A and B are shown apart, each in its own frame.
Chain A
Amino acid sequence: MFYREAGDFKTSYVDDNQTFPIRFDRYRYYAVLVAAFAVIPFLINDYWVNAVFLPFLIYTIAAIGLNILVGYCGQVSLGTGGFMAVGAYACYKLMVAFPEINIFFHVIVSGGITAAVCVLFGLPSLRIKGFYLAVATLAAQFFLVWLFNRVGWFYNYSASGQINAPERTVFGVAVTGAQTAPWAAYLFCLIFTVICAILARNLTRGMAGRKWMAIRDMDIAAEIIGVNPLKAKLTAFAVSGFFVGISGALFFSVYLGAVEVGEVFGINKSFLVLFMVIIGGLGSIFGSFAGAAFLVLLPVLLKNVLVGGLGWPTDLAAHLEFIIVGALIVIFLIAEPHGLAQLWRVAKEKLRLWPFPH
């Protein structure tokens, strides 16, 4: 009833091509933005920020990045953890080397550096396809983690081998270091997430995104109609690396503050982000949000129920979490291989017809 195109007259091409063509969607989107920027910062405390909001926002950026590579361009990558580590270490080196520059720019430059590394490891994708490529990206994962672990220059020869984020401020408010207020960290990440999402959404429906999708659907056919596979694949790797690098930089500087590379950016991180993309929905920006939210909330929820509610030992709860996550992934793939985003699409389709389904 309220969810209709009818009566919402488009008078320009810009209107015609907007992301949310239905009025209700548009207002909902504005409402979410207002709530995220103007309401939530006043309500949250330390626990909520560190357990839910920061991981959700940061993983969303990583999931968007990986979604561009896997969902839009069809190049399966298992090296996300390694690329996040590149972002984190680039951000650390920049923060220490140029303390007078705003951290905002450090994070963006870290994304750029990660994009370059990602392109380098993306080069074999021109020859290797499918699973061979997926396994080949594991080379990046293991090599990069090893590199940051073994070469002292990257962690400034600190005795523990860890990197620690020094305190940095934006407009006089600390966003990294021990003195950070929860709302400041939250807003800092939120700004990046929103910018990345808007950027990704517009990239993927423009020429670049259409080229990626052509390559994904059938690369030889795409080549014949004039898509340059070299450029398309490498831009996908670059854009994906940029987002993943930003998320790695934020993960280190704002969320954790101190990082030991093998522990934080190991192969499990790669799989986690890949799961977010799959569960959320391949080739969907909304899916990246949904997948990240799902896999961030699920462990928190399970832990609260099993350990807090039933009083089971934590190791048992951790194992059960493995079982449940694994089972859910399989169930999801069987029931809806296109992920949460597809459920959302179906729900919207139904809503458009409601309450008269014919």
Chain B
Amino acid sequence: MPDSVIFGMEVFLNGLMAGVLYALVALGFVLIYKASGIFNYAQGVMALFAALTLVGIMEGQVPFSHLINAVFGTKVHHFGWEVPALLAIALTVVVMIALAWIVNKLIFRHLVGQEPIILFMATIGLAYFLEGFGDVMWGADIKKLDVGLPQGMNSAIDDVTFGIFGYGFFIDNLDLVATVVAALLVTGLVMFAQYSKHGRAMRAVADDHQAALSVGISLNFIWVMVWSLAGFVALVAGIMWGTKMGVQFSLSLIALKALPVLMLGGFTSIPGAIVGGLIIGVGEKMFEFAIGPLVGGATENWFAYMLALIFLVFRPQGLFGEKIIERV
């Protein structure tokens, strides 16, 4: 087998793994969009905020230490204890739920009935706020996140592929873990939406707000729940991406990676997010591998958007999106 084909296969597999990570972020978008019609631009920043909070709790940082130091001239930075990873994750979940509650209470309750574009703008404002808030709370330096996930090359895959092709594939253990986690998460979410009481209520709200209200479903509760779920998904994505590339500002930019995934898969479809993520992940890695060197590289920045754009011209609602019906 020629070398380029084998390399291509390796790139393909890595693309699939990257796609899973994109899909993880996209999932959070879909959840909120389906239930409340809000296109939540802050999803990426929520992932960053969750990861920052997790690291901060684990290392026992004093929140707002920079601000306190600047105002009172003190020099506090750490409490001096370390929290085990699982407990820290649980605490972060609590923080994300509180965040969901506050966001709904303070922002989106007041914006009920506004046009979608206004809601979208509000989430951009929220994104700015959270970004600054996270930095003030925990500091803006790049942090290492280690919750005990395996990292580095998977030697089993390396051995097996070396036996077959005479060339060992490089697959990161972390990507494998992310794939498993994503699969569990999606299964869990689908089960929750299909079979649990609150899941059904959530789908009812997604279908029709007023009808859901009239059969006694509390919109407020559902929205807080959905934002909490999205916060939880953001935390998972934050852990995966944060372990991969450190907890830093650029983590929030993964939201921009998830947008073409959404367009491709459709804003309203959970399976769409997964399939779209895989297509984009594989597509951009293969394009960079095959065409990238010819045009100067770094095509990953825009390829996904172009692919989605061209695709949308032929199918405006995405792969799995609900058909858009317009009436005058």
Interface, chain A (partner B; CB < 8 A):
76, 124, 127-132, 134-136, 138-139, 142-143, 145-146, 149-151, 218, 220-221, 224, 267, 271, 274-275, 278, 310, 312-313, 315-316, 319-330, 333-334, 337
Contact = CB atoms under 8 A, between A and B. Distances in A.
B132 A322 contact: yes
Contacts of B302: 139, 142-143, 146
A307 to B, nearest CB: 11
Interface string B255-275: 010011011000100000000
A315 B111 CA distance: 32
B309 A124 contact: yes
B256 A329 contact: no
Contact of B127 (A218, A224, A326): A326
B125 A329 contact: yes
A124 B305 CA distance: 13
Contacts of A124: 309, 312-313
A333 B111 contact: yes
Given A271-B124, A321-B132, A322-B135, A139 B328 contact: no
Contacts of A131: 39, 116, 120, 267
Contact of A327 (B125, B259, B295, B312): B125
Interface size class of B (residues with CB under 8 A): 35 or more
Contact of A323 (B117, B133, B296): B133
B23 interface: no
Given A124-B313, A322-B135, A323-B132, 9 more contacts: A132-B317, A135-B259, A139-B308, A143-B306, A151-B296, A274-B124, A275-B124, A322-B132, A326-B127
Contact of B128 (A130, A224, A316, A322): A322
11 contacts: A132-B312, A138-B256, A145-B301, A278-B121, A313-B70, A316-B67, A322-B133, A323-B133, A327-B129, A328-B125, A330-B107
A337 B312 contact: no
A115 B16 CA distance: 39
A220 B325 CA distance: 12
Contacts of B125: 325-330, 333
Contacts of B111: 333-334
A319 B301 CA distance: 26
Contacts of B298: 146, 149-150
B299 interface: yes
Nearest to A311: B70
Contact of A139 (B67, B118, B126, B305): B305
Nearest to B129: A326
A197 B122 CA distance: 28
A220 B305 CA distance: 27
A57 to B, nearest CB: 24
B145 to A, nearest CB: 20
Contacts of B128: 322-323, 325-326, 329
Interface string B294-320: 011111011001101100110011100
Contact of B131 (A76, A310, A326): A326
Given A316-B66, A319-B140, A329-B125, A135 B301 contact: no
B132 A326 contact: yes
Contact of B132 (A127, A135, A149, A320): A320
A337 B120 CA distance: 12
B38 to A, nearest CB: 10
B219 interface: no
Contacts of B318: 132
Contacts of B110: 334
Contacts of A220: 326-328
A150 B296 contact: yes
Interface SS of chain B: helix, strand, loop or mixed?
helix
B91 interface: no
A320 B312 contact: no
Nearest to B67: A316
B20 to A, nearest CB: 21
Nearest to B260: A135
Contacts of B306: 139, 143
B263 A224 contact: no
B326 A320 contact: no
Contacts of B117: 76
Contacts of A218: 328
Given A316-B67, A323-B133, A326-B132, A224 B124 contact: no
Contact of B118 (A142, A327, A337): A337
Interface in B128-163: 128-133, 135-136, 140
A227 B296 CA distance: 44
B214 interface: no
A145 B309 CA distance: 17
Nearest to B253: A267
Given A316-B66, A323-B132, A146 B301 contact: yes
B32 to A, nearest CB: 13
Contact of B136 (A76, A127, A221, A320): A320
B107 A334 contact: yes
